Amino acid sequence: MNMPNIDQDALEVGLRLRALREGAGLSQRALAKQAGVTNSTISLIEAGKVNPSVGALKRILEGIPIGLSDFFAYEPDGEKTVFYAAEDLTEIGKGSLSLKQVGANLYGRAMMILLETYDLGADTGRVMYGHDAEEGGIVVSGRVEVTVGEERKVLGVGDAYYFDSRTPHRFRQVGPEKCVVVSACTPPTF
Amino acid sequence: MNMPNIDQDALEVGLRLRALREGAGLSQRALAKQAGVTNSTISLIEAGKVNPSVGALKRILEGIPIGLSDFFAYEPDGEKTVFYAAEDLTEIGKGSLSLKQVGANLYGRAMMILLETYDLGADTGRVMYGHDAEEGGIVVSGRVEVTVGEERKVLGVGDAYYFDSRTPHRFRQVGPEKCVVVSACTPPTF
DNA sequence: TTGCAGTGTTGAAAGTAATGAACATGCCAA
DNA sequence: TTGGCATGTTCATTACTTTCAACACTGCAA
């Protein structure tokens, strides 16, 4: 009598919750305590054996923390996507640095692929990512000065880089034309 | 024993569902039939008397149709937001036309405010929005040629426009510098 | 009026999620 | 080994969502 896809949805929710919880470094009991539910509830949800109420899920997600909208932003339909038209890239950039992401979100992905466009004079400033991740890329057009730790180098077309995101790093456009870089990085652990 | 905010959340979900259902022009029974649940379920959810399961809510929303992520994108926390830092604007642009939206979504809003940046040569092409809406804006820098219906005019700094979105319209950057426009438009009715 | 079709609401019963207390397992130290 | 402490899992009970059927109401037509 029950529609079979309910189990499918419940399992999807469960797998996602487990990934997020483990990514946050929390045990079922730790998250349960913070969320005000029992560890059984989380266990059953993660195993896909129940179809949680939105209230329960909301409280649990608050302990991670993540919002319901972001949680559901990863929908099963999206995971089938393989090809992306150029205009379908998700724009996440700000200012003179344009970042176009392949896919609308990172959920379930091991990598984030970016098309980075540095306008003339674009400069990320010195940034220090706190999360444990790695990133690398290849320059497609223009030139960019890359500083990683104590090392500094101007990269041209075809040049590449790869480093640990925890190392302080900086990108600065140089030369007369915009710089385009295709990069990849492991996502921040939730 | 129960936390009082559960009822608050359930009511929030209910009010939102009712607004969306009525906006879609569906009766409780019509939506229930399409979603594979009973009208009682929808009635109780909308009244905030129950805390629906995600499976039930997902099936119901599919009949509207709207996804869970979009449904929850309107969160009570978000409605308090009044000020937005420049870098917090939501980038929704594509290609040489950058669109930065004030706020992450339109739910509960009567208007969408955009910061539009047209790169050199940027051109929207002739567009025809099917929904009943109105839009207007003021040029902040640069120059843009605007075509609305049979009328065409080049707007400079301080110039403005206002028209019905259903009228075919086109924006094309002209002159030696990028063009920046602050615009507003009424959102598509859900 | 009467009947009919539509609307949303409300009861008791059926079905299911959440609880609380067990259980099994693995790891580390004494 | 033994104990202790953490992990995730399972089961019967409790609590709640969902259903089914009935209800009250409105508008419209015969």
pLDDT of the residue at A5: 39
Q: Is B94 in a helix, a strand, or coil? A: strand
A69 has pLDDT over 50: yes
- Residue-wise pLDDT tens digits, A106-163: 444 444 556 778 888 777 766 554 445 556 666 667 888 888 777 787 877 666 666 6
- Residue-wise pLDDT tens digits, A72-118: 865 443 333 334 434 444 555 455 666 665 544 444 444 455 677 88
A49 vs B185, more confident: A49
What mean pLDDT, rounded, does chain B reach? 69
pLDDT of the residue at A36: 85
B143 has pLDDT over 70: yes
How far apart CA A93 and CA A119 sit, in angstroms, is 12
How far apart CA B36 and CA A21 sit, in angstroms, is 32
pLDDT of the residue at B163: 65
Residues 10-69 of A with CB under 8 A from B: 10, 13, 36, 51-59, 67-69
Percent of chain B exceeding pLDDT 70 equals 54
How far apart CA A9 and CA B137 sit, in angstroms, is 44
CA A66 from chain centre, in angstroms, equals: 13
B49 has pLDDT over 70: yes
pLDDT of the residue at B111: 47
A6 vs A53, more confident: A53
CA closest to A1 among chain B residues: B36
DSSP sequence for A9-46: HHHHHHHHHHHHHHHTT--HHHHHHHHTS-HHHHHHHH
Percent of chain A exceeding pLDDT 90 equals 1
CA closest to A104 among chain B residues: B92
Task: Enumerate residues near strand C (beta carbon within 7 A).
Answer: A 1-2, 10, 36-41, 44-45, 49-53, 55-57; B 27-30, 39-40, 43-44, 46-47, 49, 53, 55
Question: Closest by alpha carbon to A95, among A173, A183, A160, A17?
Answer: A173
Question: E strands, chain A, where?
Answer: 90-91, 97-101, 112-118, 134-141, 143-148, 151-155, 160-164, 169-174, 179-185
Question: Closest by alpha carbon to B90, among A97, A98, A91, A123?
Answer: A91
Average confidence (pLDDT) over A172-188: 73
How far apart CA A21 and CA A34 sit, in angstroms, is 12
- Residue-wise pLDDT tens digits, B65-105: 787 877 886 544 333 333 444 444 555 545 566 666 554 44
CB contact under 8 A, A69 and B72: yes
Of A11-15, A20-24, A47-51, where does mean pLDDT reach its minimum?
A20-24
Q: Compute how many other C-beta atoms are within 10 angstroms of the C-beta atom of residue B79.
A: 12
A167 has pLDDT over 60: yes
Average confidence (pLDDT) over A33-53: 88
- Structural domains in chain B plus CATH codes: 5-73 (1.10.260.40), 81-185 (2.60.120.10)
CB contact under 8 A, B70 and A69: yes
Of A47-56, A62-71, B44-53, B122-131, where does mean pLDDT reach its minimum?
B122-131
B58 has pLDDT over 80: yes
